[in-house]
Homo-oligomer: A and B are copies of this chain.
């Protein structure tokens, strides 16, 4: 039985607490809001691991409170190094690589959990904890994790913004955005069989100036035009080298 204290009451903490609640081998013994840590930290002597699921900027100060416990202290951030945690603590990382939204359920069993620790026994503990909720565990260094987080910005944040621009174009032209859903699903599903390089199609890849000009003239928003131009250039550079 691994006993967990969750620190933070945001979306990641909520989803972890939900995921652990169905598991016999893990018990969440308390959930602390980062505001009342000092008051309650004395109650936690049974904890095996503190999971600090707070905003990046708060990790450093919040984690200070748990040094004395001599228990494992981990954070859940993709972008922060393990050294954001106090050097005197037993420290580690427990990073679930997924996009979480309040109220939307996710299937934890397929979510990659990136773990890192300085001591082998701590890594084993994190592996056990991760295995309790997921079949997709990776031992990842802080440097690798920074690359994963950067990549995640491209495949999630930026991709979602592509959907947002398309949504805006559809609204302006009385077309239901839903008509694009099968295309969006297939764009992601194609990666089961093809690399992104192989899957690339479209006017930029074909160097089809006529269509590119037509599209640019239809875009009224200056920044969307700039997005179109920059991405077209980037696709052409990527594929031009191989022609």
Contact = CB atoms under 8 A, between A and B. Distances in A.
Contacts of A194: 101, 104
A243 interface: no
A154 B150 contact: no
Nearest to A222: B237
A112 to B, nearest CB: 5
Given A56-B208, A188-B188, A153 B215 contact: yes
B205 A157 contact: yes
Interface string A154-198: 111111111111110110111100011111111111110111111
Contacts of A196: 160-161, 163-164, 166-167
Given A112-B182, A235-B157, A164 B99 contact: no
Interface residues on A, range: 35 or more
Contacts of A88: none
Given A157-B201, A194-B101, A227-B234, A151 B180 contact: yes
Identify whether the interface residues of A are mostly helix, strand, loop, or mixed: helix
A197 B160 CA distance: 8
Contacts of A152: 166, 180, 183
A197 B165 CA distance: 9
A110 interface: yes
Contact of A111 (B136, B182, B235): B182
A199 interface: yes
A58 interface: no
Interface string A105-130: 01000111010000000000000000
Interface in A195-243: 195-205, 208, 210-211, 214-215, 218-219, 223-224, 226-228, 230-231, 233-235, 237-238
Given A57-B210, A146-B218, 5 more contacts: A104-B193, A112-B179, A160-B190, A161-B196, A163-B199
Interface of A: 56-57, 79, 97-99, 101, 104, 106, 110-112, 114, 136, 138, 140, 143-144, 146-167, 169-170, 172-175, 179-191, 193-205, 208, 210-211, 214-215, 218-219, 223-224, 226-228, 230-231, 233-235, 237-238
18 contacts: A56-B210, A56-B211, A79-B211, A97-B179, A99-B201, A112-B182, A143-B173, A144-B175, A151-B170, A154-B228, A155-B180, A158-B227, A158-B231, A159-B184, A160-B199, A184-B188, A223-B237, A226-B230
